[in-house]
């Protein structure tokens, strides 16, 4: 299929990686101001309040959401409950650039989960792409020192981000692979706000449970309320949650998932620029090498024979 990538579509697909990179930087800035799992809960609570004027009908007893509650509960667990909470936890011990580069290993998880659980075929090009992407991720995890491969010591944030990436990959497969006997209702699929609302509601339930555990384990946690935290919550609730979701869905519909996938790899690049500008965390040489390897892996895996 030939895709004509217009400037408008390219802009729509560039905005989400920029907002996601900003999400990583803001999450890093909020370390110490609010517990990470609590931050995730309040983020989606604010997003829910913003979605209510657009899709409150989803919550009515007659809405098409309720027959699909089991699937929506799983999507909410993986996409809102696990992925974002794990990412914010990862930022306590890792940098935004490292987190986004480790997150760029998503094609590896996507191919693996697709082959194991959804019967997806893996082509030769995709195998080479996985090899390049894996090398790039290992470059980040070893901080560019090959000798550390024999005594690899991961910081907790790297491990948490790997878990987050696996959760998001599973979430992504479930988005496009509904149960054969229970296809997604068109009323939800054709309305981006309703589709997001249907996932946010159960996601908030999971996030609330995880937040309760967070405070039960460490009851001395504190939240430093003030304009910095309120501004951060406004950004993560509006930008990475609502605006990015809308732009990404519209861009993918126009360009197709194959073309859109290349734009995800802009996230580490934006994270490097934002980290240098906001946090003063300048990228290292191994970050550039890792980025080149990860992008090369995506390009090779997307080539057609």
Cβ burial, residue 57 (10 Å; 0-12/13-18/19+): middle
pLDDT: is 15 or 13 the higher one? 15
pTM for this predicted structure: 0.82
pLDDT value of position 52: 95
pLDDT value of position 43: 95
For the chain, domain boundaries: 7-93+154-283
34-65 pLDDT, tens per residue? 999 999 999 999 999 999 999 999 999 888 88
Q: How far apart are CA 80 and CA 82, in angstroms?
A: 6
Match 């390897």 to its residue by tokens. Answer: 293
pLDDT value of position 1: 43
Residues 6+ apart with CB under 8 A from 254: 6, 9, 12
- Rounded to an integer, the average pLDDT of 66-78 is 89
What share of the chain in percent tops pLDDT 70? 82
pLDDT: is 23 or 142 the higher one? 23
Query: Are residues 168 and 175 in contact, defined by beta-carbon separation less than 8 angstroms?
Result: no
- pLDDT of residue 2 exceeding 60: no
The H or E element spanning position 305 is none
- List phi, psi (to 5°) of 151: -135, 55
Query: Are residues 241 and 44 in contact, defined by beta-carbon separation less than 8 angstroms?
Result: yes
pLDDT value of position 259: 58
100-124 pLDDT, tens per residue? 777 777 777 877 787 777 777 767 7
Residue/partner pairs of 172-179 with CB below 8 Å, 24 or more apart: 172/106, 172/110, 173/110, 173/113, 173/114, 173/117, 173/118, 174/71, 174/74, 174/75, 174/78, 175/75, 177/118, 178/71, 179/71
Confidence band for 283, pLDDT divided at 50, 70 and 90: confident
Q: How far apart are CA 230 and CA 232, in angstroms?
A: 5
- The overall average pLDDT reported for the chain is 81
- The token pair that represents 27 in the structure block: 């999450």
214-240 pLDDT, tens per residue? 999 998 999 999 999 999 999 999 999
């Amino acid at each position: 299929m030939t895709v004509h990538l217009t400037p408008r579509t390219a802009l729509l697909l560039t905005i989400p990686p920029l907002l996601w990179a900003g999400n990583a930087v803001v999450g890093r800035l909020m370390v110490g101001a609010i517990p990470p799992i609590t931050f995730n809960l309040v983020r989606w609570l604010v997003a829910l309040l913003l979605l209510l004027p657009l899709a409150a009908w989803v919550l009515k007893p007659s809405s098409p959401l309720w027959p699909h509650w089991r699937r929506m509960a799983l999507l909410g667990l993986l996409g809102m409950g696990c992925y974002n909470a794990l990412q914010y936890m990862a930022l306590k011990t890792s940098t935004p650039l490292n987190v986004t580069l480790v997150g760029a290993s998503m094609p590896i998880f996507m191919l693996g989960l697709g082959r194991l659980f959804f019967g997806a075929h893996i082509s030769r090009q995709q195998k080479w792409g996985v090899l390049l992407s894996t090398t790039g991720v290992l470059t980040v995890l070893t901080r560019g020192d090959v000798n550390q491969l024999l005594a690899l010591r991961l910081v907790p944030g790297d491990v948490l981000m790997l878990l987050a990436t696996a959760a998001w990959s599973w979430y992504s497969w479930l988005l496009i692979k509904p149960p054969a006997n229970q296809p997604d209702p068109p009323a939800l699929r054709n309305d981006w706000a309703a589709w997001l609302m249907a996932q946010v509601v159960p996601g908030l339930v999971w996030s609330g449970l995880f937040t309760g555990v967070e405070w039960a384990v460490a009851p001395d946690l504190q939240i430093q309320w003030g304009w910095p935290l309120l501004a951060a919550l406004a950004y993560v609730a509006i930008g990475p949650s609502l605006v990015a979701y809308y732009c990404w869905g519209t861009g993918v519909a126009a360009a197709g998932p194959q073309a859109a996938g290349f734009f995800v790899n802009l996230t580490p690049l934006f994270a490097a620029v934002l980290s240098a500008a906001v946090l003063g965390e300048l990228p290292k040489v191994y970050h550039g090498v890792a980025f080149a390897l990860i992008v090369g892996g995506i390009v090779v895996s997307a080539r057609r024979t």
